[in-house]
Structure 1
Amino acid sequence: MSKNHNEIIKCPECQTEGDFKVWENINTSDDPELKELIRSGQLFMWKCPKCGNDCIVFYPTYYHQPEDKMLIHYIPDAPLMAINFMKTLTHDPYDESIKLEKGCRKRVVTDMNSFREKLLILDHGYDDKVIELQKLFLLAELQKADPSKKIEQIFLNREKDGTTNFAIKIEGDQWGRAEFSSGNYEHIAKTFKAALADDKEVLINSDWALATIEKQM
Structure 2
Amino acid sequence: MTRSTLEFITCPKCNHQSGFTAYQSINATLAPELKQKIVDWELYKFSCLNCGEPRFVYYETLYHDMEHRLMLYYVPAMANREREQIKMEDVFSQIKQVEGDRYSNSFDTYNFRIVSDMEAFIEKVQIFDAGYDDRLVELMKFILAPKEEEDIQFSYDHMVFTKVGDDRYQFMFIYEKRAVASLKFSEEMYEHFQSEYSGLLDDSYFVDEAWAYGTIARG
Is this a same-fold pair by TM over 0.5?
Answer: yes
CA gap 1:89/1:171 in 2 versus in 1, 3 angstroms? same
Could you say if the C-alpha distance between residues 51 and 172 of structure 1 is closer, same or farther in structure 2, counting changes exceeding 3 Å?
A: closer
Decide which of 153, 158, 164 is 2:163's aligned counterpart. 158
CA separation of 1:28 and 1:161: change in aligned 2, threshold 3 A:
closer
Match of 1:116 among 122, 136, 142: 122
Match of 2:195 among 190, 193, 197: 190
Name the stretch that deviates more: 30-39 or 200-209: 30-39
Q: CA deviation at 1:35?
A: 2.4
2:214 aligns with: 211
Between 1:77-86 and 1:58-67, the stretch displaced more is 77-86
**Aligned amino acid, residue 83 of structure 2:** L
> 4+ runs of 1 displaced by more than 4 Å?
141-144, 171-174
Q: Percent of pairs identical after alignment?
A: 27
User: What is the identity, as a one-letter code, of the residue corresponding to 1:6?
Assistant: L
SS of structure 2 residue aligned to 1:77: coil
| Distance in 2 of aligned mates of 1:41 and 1:33 | 12
List aligned pairs for 1:16-55, cutoff 5 A: 16-55=16-55
Instruction: Give the superposition deviation at 1:109.
Output: 1.2
Q: Distance in 2 between matches of 1:136 and 1:69?
A: 25
Equivalent of residue 133 in structure 2, options 127, 138, 150 = 127
SS at match of 2:138: helix
- In 1, are the aligned partners of 2:24 and 2:61 still within 8 Å (CA)? yes
Residue 4 of structure 1: how far off its partner (Å)? 1.5
Residue pair 1:90, 1:99 contacting (<8 A) in 2 also:
no
Which residue, 145, 150, 169 being the options, matches 1:139?
145
CA RMSD of aligned residues (A): 2.6
1:73-99: per-residue Cα shift (whole Å, max 9, x none)?
111233325643279737725345343
> What 5-or-longer segments of structure 1 have no aligned partner?
none
TM-score by length of 2: 0.84
